Structure 1
Amino acid sequence: MVDSDGFRPNVGIILANAAGQVFWARRIGQNAWQFPQGGIKAQETPEEALFRELEEEVGLAPADVEVMGCTRGWLRYRLPRRLIRSRSRPVCIGQKQVWFLLRLVGEEEQVQLDRSERPEFDHWRWVDFWHPVQEVVFFKRRVYTRALQELGPLLFPDGLPRQPPVGRPRRSAPPRGCRRA
């Protein structure tokens, strides 16, 4: 399902533990880490999609979490041109997401990344609150920052942890014998 502007409706999940750390998962077969997220199906509310994705990707049931809040509106990111499937119809140019902040109230042993037929992740860990902004793929950084800034006060009512500066990835010189395009 893609809207008239080319964005796919989606939910993003920030799962926190009692220490204020967030759940960070590695995509299967890649060195790519991200928050759980997934599309909203036709006739499904964002909250219904949240709980479906939480069970499919993380293996947690609604009773394992407390919903602390969600973003006031859609947060959008555009895909880089190389990732846009121009031949598909309708063309999806990015995602629009409602982000949810959840607190784990069950046991972390309940996390099972292989609950669905096609798991998304093969490893997970708890990381500091701002760590995902440093490590996520570049085109999602702004959305991650906005979601954490908006929802963070629910987790840290006395003030957010200090956000480290986000550096630009350094471009290394090509190996000897390689030509730049």
Structure 2
Amino acid sequence: MTSATPHDLPYRPCAGFMLLNAENLVFVGQRIETRAHGTWQMPQGGIDPGEDKQAAALRELGEETGITPDLVEVIAPASKPLRYDLPPELLGKVWKGKYRGQEQHWFLGRFLGSEDDIDLEAHDPPEFNAYRWIEPDRLPELIIPFKRQVYREILEEFRSHIPR
């Protein structure tokens, strides 16, 4: 019997949301478990079996930020899913070792609410301990290094929808 290699593992289905405010800045949250590293990311998470990708992205946005779907105008889906592989030191440690990385389905949307509508403790346990709005071009520098290429691709994918 041979043992499985990382390339034998599937990608975890994931949905993410790039949320713009009225000033065309992007929402990023600081992950609680990686706070020491200062890593920030856009809301994203796993897609449940049978769940619609856009519904999953909006659910994850709501769980991580407290922002309800009625406060979001969906502008566009990404034209294709984007993948990343976990670095060797994380393989077998995250997601119970079932996945080699994620296949992410991204959506771009506009936040129609106010700062009072954001509640990082809407989900128990919370995933973010802080948030901020940043210039879109700063996204790749704030994300954990192994996800940077995906963030560059997301940014390029949605650039034509983001007024300058």
Relative to the length of structure 2, the TM-score reads: 0.87
Cα drift, residue 97 of structure 1: 0.4
Please tell me the residue identity of whatever aligns with 1:74.
P
Q: Which residue of 2 aligns with 1:73?
A: 80
Query: Which residue number in structure 2 is paired with residue 106 of structure 1?
Result: 113
- Percent identity reads 37
Alignment correspondent of 1:14: 18
Separation in 2 of the partners of 1:132 and 1:90?
28
Structure with the larger RCO, 1 or 2 (CA within 8 Å, 6+ apart): 2
In the other structure, the counterpart of 1:169 is none
Equivalent of residue 35 in structure 1, options 22, 31, 42: 42
Cα distance in structure 2, aligned partners of 1:91 and 1:61: 31
Contact 2:17 2:58 in 1 (8 A): no
Moved over 6 A (4+): 86-90
Mapped partners of 2:113, 2:142: distance in 1: 27
| Higher-Rg member (1/2) | 1
In structure 2, give the amino acid aligned to 1:127. Answer: I
Is residue 76–residue 96 contact of structure 1 (8 Å, CA) maintained in 2? yes
Give the CA deviation at 1:60: 0.6
Deviations 1:44-94 (A, max 9, x none): 010111121111101011111100111111100000011011798773110
CA distance in 2, matches of 1:143, 1:95: 10
Q: How many residues align?
A: 154
- What's the secondary structure of 1:81's corresponding residue? coil
CA distance in 1 between counterparts of 2:117 and 2:82 reads 29
Q: Take 2:106 and 2:114, find their aligned partners in 1: how far apart are those partners? A: 23
Instruction: Kindly provide the CA deviation profile for residues 23-49 of structure 1, in whole angstroms up to 9, marking residues without a partner as x.
Output: 011011512211111000001010111
1:142 matched to 2:142:
no
User: How far 1:131 sits from its partner (Å)?
Assistant: 0.8
Distance 1:155 1:88, change over 3 A: closer
Contact 1:6/1:90, CA 8 A, preserved across alignment: no
Shift of 1:108: 2.2
Instruction: Please say if residues 16 and 60 of structure 2, whose CA atoms lie closer than 8 Å, have aligned partners that are also in contact.
Output: no
Query: What's the C-alpha RMSD, in Å, of the aligned pairs?
Result: 1.9
Q: Residue 137 and residue 114 in structure 1: after superposition, are their counterparts in 2 closer, same or farther (change >3 A)?
A: same
TM-score for the superposition, normalised by structure 1: 0.79
Q: Distance in 2 between matches of 1:108 and 1:88?
A: 32
| Counterparts of 1:126 and 1:35, CA distance in 2 | 10
Query: Which secondary structure does the structure 1 equivalent of 2:148 belong to?
Result: helix
Q: How do 1:111-122 residues align onto structure 2 when only pairs under 5 Å count?
A: 111-122=118-129
Task: Considering fraction of residues, name the structure with more helix.
Answer: 2
Tell me which moved more, 27-36 or 92-101.
Answer: 27-36
Q: Structure 2: how far apart are the matches of 1:126 and 1:87? A: 28
- Quote the residue 1:178 is aligned against: none
